[in-house]
Structure 1
């Protein structure tokens, strides 16, 4: 699964170390978004959809940027 830089940064911010934990944290974060924060909602939805298509083994191989 290919993630762009923005997606990887969002994943890094909310990662719990597991794929399902990350999905859970992103869903929680979405509860606090304001109605006008559509870009962040769309970004997080895209990440969640990609994470759902991955296996835990695939997620373990994701490399996060260093900066």
Structure 2
């Protein structure tokens, strides 16, 4: 299983919709509107998510850090 940072988990919780494919589509659609630092975080996070199977993705606990 992959290791996600708090920032990566927060990003995924924001764009998580419709499973792995929906998340990837949502993040890719937002990339042009992100500043350079956020874009780098998003691209790094997408690379991690892309390596997951649908089953592995479904097992991720995706919630914003302040919801813990």
Q: Give the TM-score normalised by structure 2.
A: 0.85
Structure-to-structure mapping, 1:4-43, within 5 angstroms? 4-33=5-34, 37-43=35-41
Residues of 1 paired with 2:54 and 2:26: CA distance?
16
Q: Which has more helix, going by share of residues?
A: 2
Q: CA deviation at 1:64?
A: 2.5
User: Unaligned regions of 5+ residues in structure 1, if any?
Assistant: none
Q: For 1:60, what is the secondary structure of its paired residue?
A: helix
Q: What is the number of residues matched between the two proteins?
A: 64
Structure 1 runs (4+) deviating above 6 angstroms are: none
Secondary structure (helix, strand or coil) at the match of 1:40 reads helix
Normalising by structure 1, report the TM-score: 0.86
Distance in 2 of aligned mates of 1:64 and 1:44: 15
What secondary structure does 1:16 align onto? coil
